[in-house]
Amino acid sequence: MEENTKELKEAVIKALLPHIILLETSIRPLHGYALIRLIRTKHGIYLGPSTVYPALGELEKQGLIQSQWEMACERPHKAYTITNKGRILLGQTTHVLAFVNKMIEVKA
C-alpha cells in the first residue's frame, strides 16, 4: 500500500510541476538544482534533471518564467524567476486547484 501511495504522490507532483515551479519562482529566483532539492525536501519526491530542466525550458519558452545567468557563484548558473504572465497563470491555477481540493474534501 505504501509503495502505491509513493507512486501516486510522485505522479501528482510531476503533473503539478509547472505549478510548483511558478509558485516557487514567485517567492525567489531559483536555479534548476535548487528546485530539485526543494521538491525533494518539501514533498519527499526526487525528480531528476531530466524531468525538471525540460519543464523549466518549456515554461520559459511559453514566457511564464525568465532566466538570467548568475555569475557571482563559484559556477555560473541560470536563475529562474516568474514573469507577469506566469503570475496570472499561477493565480488561475491556484484558484482551480483550490476548487478541486474543495470538491475532493466534500466527497471524502
Grid coordinates standing for 56? 523549466
pLDDT tens per residue, range 54-90: 999 999 999 999 999 988 777 888 999 999 999 999 9
Q: What one-letter code names the amino acid at 67?
A: S
Residue 107 scores a pLDDT above 70: no
Q: What's the total number of domains in the chain?
A: 1
* 45 phi, psi to nearest 5 deg: -125, 135
Nearest alpha carbon to residue 24 among 15, 34, 11: 34
Residue 106 scores a pLDDT above 80: no
pLDDT tens per residue, range 28-48: 999 999 999 999 999 889 999
Q: Is the pTM above the cut of 0.75?
A: yes
- CATH number of residue 47's parent domain: 1.10.10.10
What is the rounded average pLDDT of the residues 22-26? 97
Domain residues for the domain of 9 are 2-107
Alpha-carbon gap, residue 32 to 100, rounded angstroms: 29
